[in-house]
Amino acid sequence: MTRRPTIKPKIAKTVPVLRRIVAGWRDKSETVALVPTMGALHAGHISLVHLARRRADRVVVSIFVNPAQFAPTEDFSTYPRTFATDVEMLGEEKADLVWAPANVAVMYPEGFATRIVPERAATAGLEDRFRPDFFKGVATVVAKLFTQVAPDIAVFGEKDFQQLRVVTRMARDLDLPLRVIGAPTVREKDGLAMSSRNVYLSADERAAAPTLHRVLKLCASKIAEGHSIATILSEGREAITRGGFVLDYLEARHAETLAPIASVKDGPVRLLVAAKLGTTRLIDNVGVASPSP
Ligand code: AMP
């Protein structure tokens, strides 16, 4: 297999170094895209880098496992960390700069006392119901990344659909001068949404995992055909449980506001799911085709 030539991306580990590099680009009137990640990169992350490359002259990829978005019971300490491989992949994809804060104190220095507390989409009763502080942690770190890098655009995956809605709204609410762009979910051949956490799955769990997307797709097509959302969701919930998952939620929501929605006539519908296989929690979502007018 021939590997593409690698140009090692620059790595900034402190805010002043980051700002100096970005300022150099700005002096040449170059545009900048940011792709925020927690590392353990896979083809889903790389698709965001590709989109960013098409939309801006320079691409910054941040790698920071953000403690503020993990609950004490969650996997912060064991979250996969593969920094050397990540940097190599980003070199192959010609990212210009990796923004990798040297340690947690670079982001949250002693005495850190300010948090962003998002509402509406962030309190829609989906992820927030199971991870009550998650979006406060996400919004706070993303607001910091936005002000540190000051990009023209920031690319987020639809894989984390509620998060995409929350950060889009936050950028508007705070008048941050950038555009948030959503990118489609990249999947394994069998439909499983790629995720850094998929490495936690045992062989049996990995074999069962694609059920989640299969059920979502089936529900979406039945709802698009005109079947009742409530009936289809209740069948979907049973199918997911029968597939060996412990279900957190399977919901139909308005794709923009994430408010509950009872019929395809009431707006674009998104189906969102979260469920556990063993100790691994998987999330996914799909759109429902709108009825023809
Ligand atoms: P994470 O490293 O999991 O925080 O994800 C960083 C970014 O990559 C987020 O915007 C995610 O939505 C996005 N992402 C994660 N998995 C995928 C995927 N399978 N397809 C597209 N984007 C993804």
Query: pLDDT tens-digit profile of 212-229?
Result: 999 999 999 999 999 999
For the chain, percent of residues with pLDDT exceeding 90: 96
pLDDT of amino acid 7: 74
For residue 45, indicate whether it is catalytic: yes
pTM for the predicted model, two decimal places: 0.97
Taking only the tens place, the pLDDT of each residue in 153-169 is 999 999 999 999 999 99
- Does the Cβ of 47 fall within 6 Å of ligand 1? yes
pLDDT of amino acid 164: 98
Taking only the tens place, the pLDDT of each residue in 223-265 is 999 999 999 999 999 999 999 999 999 999 999 999 999 999 9
19 Cα: distance to centroid of ligand 1 (angstroms): 25
Tell me how far CA of residue 163 lies from CA of 12, 74, 145, 169, 221, in angstroms: 26, 18, 15, 10, 24
pLDDT of amino acid 11: 98
Taking only the tens place, the pLDDT of each residue in 165-209 is 999 999 999 999 999 999 999 999 999 999 999 999 999 999 999
Whether 156 and 138 have beta carbons less than 8 Å apart is answered as no
Taking only the tens place, the pLDDT of each residue in 27-74 is 999 999 999 999 999 999 999 999 999 999 999 999 999 999 999 999
Mutate to test the pocket of ligand 1, among 160, 180, 187, 198 (most ligand atoms within 8 A of CB): 160
235 Cα: distance to centroid of ligand 1 (angstroms): 28
Structure tokens belonging to residue 168: 């889009």
Confidence of residue 8 (pLDDT cuts 50, 70, 90): confident
47 Cα: distance to centroid of ligand 1 (angstroms): 9
**Mean per-residue pLDDT, 88-105:** 97
- Does the Cβ of 252 fall within 6 Å of ligand 1? no
What distance lies between CA 274 and its chain's CA centroid? 14
Pairing status of strand 97-99 against strand 246-254: unpaired
If you take atom 5 of ligand 1, which residue's CA is the nearest one? Answer: 37
Render the chain in DSSP notation, one character per residue.
-PPPPP-PPEEE-SHHHHHHHHHHHHHTT--EEEEEE-S---HHHHHHHHHHHHH-SEEEEEE---GGGS-TTSSTTTS---HHHHHHHHHHTT-SEEE--SSHHHHS-TT--------GGGGSSSHHHH-TTHHHHHHHHHHHHHHHH--SEEEEEGGGHHHHHHHHHHHHHTT-SSEEEEEPPPB-TTSPBP-GGGGG--HHHHHHTTHHHHHHHHHHHHHHTT--HHHHHHHHHHHHHHTT-EEEEEEEEETTT--B-S-GGGS-EEEEEEEEETTEEEEEEEEEPPPP-
pLDDT of amino acid 6: 65
- Does the Cβ of 274 fall within 6 Å of ligand 1? no
Cα 48 to Cα 93: distance, rounded to the nearest angstrom: 11
Cα 146 to Cα 289: distance, rounded to the nearest angstrom: 33
Q: Choose the catalytic residue: 42, 45, 50, 213.
A: 45
